[in-house]
Amino acid sequence: MLPAPLKRLIAALSRLPGVGEKTATRYAFHLMNQPEYVAGELAQALTSFREELHFCPRCHHLAELQPAPATGTISSSSDLSGLCDICKNPRRDSRRICVIESVQDLIALEKTGEWDGVYHVLHGSLSPMRGVGPDQLRCASLIARVDAGGVDEVILATNADVEGEATALYLRRLVGTKAAVSRIATGVPMGGELEYLDRGTLGRALRDRRS
């Protein structure tokens, strides 16, 4: 009973995670009831999102593409135009690299305000069951960064699940002889009550205790 353009919009919105057909239909009708410029801004944002973003060649965080240099311009070896804002920031400690699984993890760590080093985004974790091996992750570029020198410590901040632990163990073996390697602490969360925590969390909290 719906026109084809509306059906296409609902189908496109339904592909988003957590958005079913009912929610997509509600979004579509909401856009219909908005001024025309609202849909135009949304369309422009979606187009520019794919055209103006890329992954930082150093850490694989998201970065904004810069206009190409004019013809005949000689780029400097210190040119940082392709890097993300974190890698370009001279106040960040490039000697310490925090390895994470996703850009979302990077955002979460940045919100704490506790980290002034740089990052390396793997874009996943090792998972033989899903066919994800080292070649599907940004492991080789991490090793290249360490081999280039100037790295004192690599902090492994992968998730505390089976796949994250396997990834951390794999990277520790690769990096361990080239730089100091540490793992983020896990254990009792702030505000947590011991009686409700699982055995693995409590066990790790005891093993990783500090004075």
42 and 143 belong to one structural domain? no
Express each pLDDT in 40-65 by its tens digit: 999 999 888 888 889 999 999 999 88
Q: How far apart are CA 87 and CA 90, in angstroms?
A: 8
Give the global pTM.
0.81
40 and 98 belong to one structural domain? no
- Phi/psi at 97 (nearest 5 deg)? -115, 125
153 and 203 belong to one structural domain? yes
- Name the token pair of 79: 């040119």
* The residue to which tokens 């025309």 are assigned: 36
Residue 30 belongs to domain with CATH number: 1.10.8.420
Count of domains in the chain? Answer: 2
Express each pLDDT in 119-166 by its tens digit: 999 999 999 888 899 999 999 999 999 999 899 999 999 998 999 999
Judge whether 69 lies within some domain: no
95 and 150 belong to one structural domain? yes
Which range marks the domain in which residue 40 is found? 4-51
109 and 202 belong to one structural domain? yes
125 and 183 belong to one structural domain? yes
